[in-house]
Each structure stands twice: as C-alpha cells, then as structure tokens.
Amino acid sequence: MIFGKQLMPLVIKMSKRQLNDFEAFRKVLSQSKNIVALTGAGVSAESGIPTFRGEGGLWRKYRSADLATPHAFYTKPHLVWEFYHYRRTIAFNAQPNDAHKALAKYEKLCEEQGHKFNIITQNVDGLHTKAGSRNVIELHGALHKVVCTNVKCGTVAENFDDPICEALRGRGDPMVREDLPMIDKKDLPKCKKCSGLLRPYIVWFGENLDPDILQQARDLVEECDICLVIGTSSVVYPAAMFAPLVAERGKPVAEFNLTEEPASDLFQFHFPGPCGSTLPRALNIQI
C-alpha cells in the first residue's frame, strides 16, 4: 500500500498514461540508461511453446502442475521425466521469434551506447539465449539444465541430449492417454559425476527460487530506469511484484501483451497484440 508523498509520482504517471503510443515510448526509452525486460510465456507462445497453464494445460490426463512438484518426482520419477522429455524436445526444436530477436538486437545496441539492458525471464525454454541475448536471468530454471538429486553431489550441468537417455526415446507423446509401462529408476537419466538420479533444473511448485538469482533480479528491478513487461500476465510471484515496484518508484513501465487492457493502472504504456509484432516496432529494431 502507498501512502503520503509516495502517492504523488503515481498520480503523475497515471495522468500521463500513453497507451499504444510508440513514439512517446521510444522517446522515454531513449532517455533510459538502465533497462530491464521481464518476459513470460506469451513471448515463447509465438514460437510454439505450450504455456501449460489454465484449462488447456493438460499433458495426457494430468494437469501439468501435478507433475511439476517434488512429490510427483519422488513417487513417479519416470512419469515426470516423460513429461519433461516432451517439453525438452519442443524447446530444443523451437526457434526464437521476432520478439526474442528484437530483444537480442536491442541488447547489442545498448552495449554500443553504454547503456545497461537485462532480461529477467519466467520462461525455461532457453530461446532468449538461442536468439543471442547474453544478459538473461532465468528465474525458474532451464530445460537444458539438469541437477543431480544426490545431496552429496548436487551438480548442475547443461544437457542438450535428445533423448536424454535411451529409455525415454519415443516417450512423452501427449496424445497417449494411458500411462505407458513404467521405466525402471535405474534407466532414468543419471549424473555423469556420481551416477545419481538427475532431475530437471526447474523450480517446481512448492519450491523456493534460488536466493542468489532472486536477489540479482531484485537488484536489477530496484535500479532500472524503465521496465518492459513482455508476454506475461503478471500473476506469478515473485515476478509479479517486480513491475509494480518499478512503478512505485515513479519509473515508467511498458506492457506488451495480447490483452486489450493493461494489467495495472500503474503502467504508463500498453501495447496490445503479438509481441513479435509490437516489440520490434516499439524498440525500432529491424528483424
């Protein structure tokens, strides 16, 4: 809640809201030297990455949320790995769209101009990096990484093998409505250092974000001159609090989303439509 003198900047910003005004946005952006982009599933949806949220977020007969938990992995690691094998295959074969490419090109432009530009993403598909972005904080982990479940090891490593193990070859088809024969635990992905059972390097429901990564994100949000909210409904915490924090400091927030209405009255700019179309135009980037 905002009281007293803190309310004044918000009143000023709200009175100057410029929805769908590309020229005004570019002017504000050109005066910013520290830019942060917060991205969500809406960016990657245009590359064919399923969101796995809402009523349609089913894999076979399961809600994806029921498979993205420590309990699910403990009780049925073979089923969880089938689900993530499917997700990995989609991500590895997906290509960055124009929104990813625009952000990567804009990062290079900022470097040339001596400005700071960072991406904080809720996505785990790695498409920002594939597009060429380097300053990327992955809040929820990454599909191309695995972590050893052996508490004495805990090694985190990149892994682009597809399939990640032979037992998962040909598995994961979401159209198969019945469970396939269980894969023995000993045949699931193993750590190359200690042979312990691997799990996806993903922050699951019921788990906390890496405190170091969260602190890095907080520092960027607290220091930025402007925040771009791209392809996210801003409902998943703690990321949902980042843009409002920027607005509460009296700094502009620009939202790029499919929705016609802004997610918050505190956001100064709102650009409805596919991010692959609105973002390159707003950033004045040729793809």
234 in Cβ contact with 156 (< 8 Å): no
169 is in an annotated binding site: no
Split at pLDDT 50, 70, 90, the class of 175 is confident
132 is in an annotated binding site: no
Q: Which residues, 6 or more positions from 26, have their beta carbon under 8 angstroms from its beta carbon? A: 282, 284
81 is in an annotated binding site: no
Split at pLDDT 50, 70, 90, the class of 238 is low
pLDDT digits (tens, 9 = 90+) for 31-56: 999 999 999 999 999 999 987 665 55
Same fold, 1-48+96-140+209-287 and 50-93+142-202: no
Q: Which CATH class is domain 50-93+142-202?
A: alpha beta
Known catalytic residues are 140
Does 6 have pLDDT greater than 90?
Answer: no
Domain edges within the chain: 1-48+96-140+209-287, 50-93+142-202
On the CB side of 42, CA atoms within 13 Å amount to 22
Task: Tell me what pLDDT residue 208 has.
Answer: 94
Task: Tell me what pLDDT residue 65 has.
Answer: 79
| CATH code reported for the domain at 1-48+96-140+209-287 | 3.40.50.1220
49 is in an annotated binding site: yes
Mean pLDDT of 90-94: 97
**In this prediction, what percent of the chain has a pLDDT beyond 70?**
89
Q: Specify the pairing of strand 116-121 against strand 226-230.
A: unpaired
